[in-house]
Structure 1
Amino acid sequence: MAIEGGMKCVKFLVFFFNFIFWVCGVALIAIGIYALVALGRAPVAPVAASSWTPVGIVVLGVVIFFTSFFGCCGAWRESYCMVTTFAVLLSLIFLVEIAAAITGYVFKHKVHGLVEEGLWEAVRRYEKDPALSAALDAFQQEFSCCGVDNYTDWASVGPFGANDTVPRSCCRVATAACNVRPTPATVFAKGCLPSLEAWVKRNVVVLAAVALGIAFFEVLGVVFSCCLMRGIRSGYEVM
Structure 2
Amino acid sequence: MTSRLSSAELCIKYLIFAFNFIFWLAGTGVFALGLWVRFNERTKELLTADSPSVSFTGVYMPIVVGAVMMVLGFLGCCGAIKESPCMLGMFFVFLFIIFAAEVAAGIWGFAIQKKVVKEIQDSYKQTFDNYKNTKQKALRETLKDFHYGLKCCGKTGLPIDGVSDICPKKEGTKNVVTTSCPSAIEENFTSRLQVIGGVGIGIGVIMIFGMILSMLLCRAIQRPRDNDKYRVHVFEKTSNKA
TM-score by length of 2: 0.74
Where structure 1 has 5 or more consecutive residues not aligned to the other structure, the ranges are 155-164, 174-185
Which residue number in structure 1 is paired with residue 87 of structure 2? 82
Partner of 1:55: 60
**2:211 aligned residue:** 222
> Are the counterparts in 2 of residues 42 and 136 from structure 1 also a CA contact under 8 Å?
no
Q: How many residues align?
A: 213
Structure scoring higher RCO (CA < 8 A, sep ≥ 6) equals 1
Residue 45 of structure 1 pairs with residue 49 of structure 2: yes
Q: 1:26 to 1:44 in 2, by over 3 A?
A: closer
- Map of 1:4 onto structure 2: 6
Report the aligned-residue RMSD.
3.1
Counterpart residue number, 1:168: 165
Tell me the distance in 2 between the aligned counterparts of 1:76 and 1:221.
15
C-alpha distance after superposition, 1:108-152 (max 9, x if no partner): 33244222212123324544462x532422543676643224559
| 1:181-215 deviation digits (Å, cap 9, x = unpaired) | xxxxx976653111121122232233223322222
Q: Which amino acid aligns with 1:168?
A: D
Distance (Å, rounded) in 1 between the aligned partners of 2:202 and 2:128: 38
After the TM superposition, which segments of 4 or more aligned residues of structure 1 sit over 4 Å from their partners?
A: 141-145, 150-154, 170-173, 186-190
Give the Cα–Cα distance (whole angstroms) in 2 for the partners of residues 44 and 16 of structure 1. Answer: 37
The one-letter code sitting in structure 1 at the alignment partner of 2:77 is C
Q: What is the SS of the residue equivalent to 1:34?
A: helix
The unaligned stretches of length 5 or more in structure 2 are: 227-242
In the alignment, the residues of structure 1 paired with residue 47 and residue 108 of structure 2 have an alpha-carbon distance, to the nearest angstrom, of 25
Q: Give the aligned partner of residue 232 of structure 2.
A: none
Q: Residues of 1 paired with 2:107 and 2:70: CA distance?
A: 24
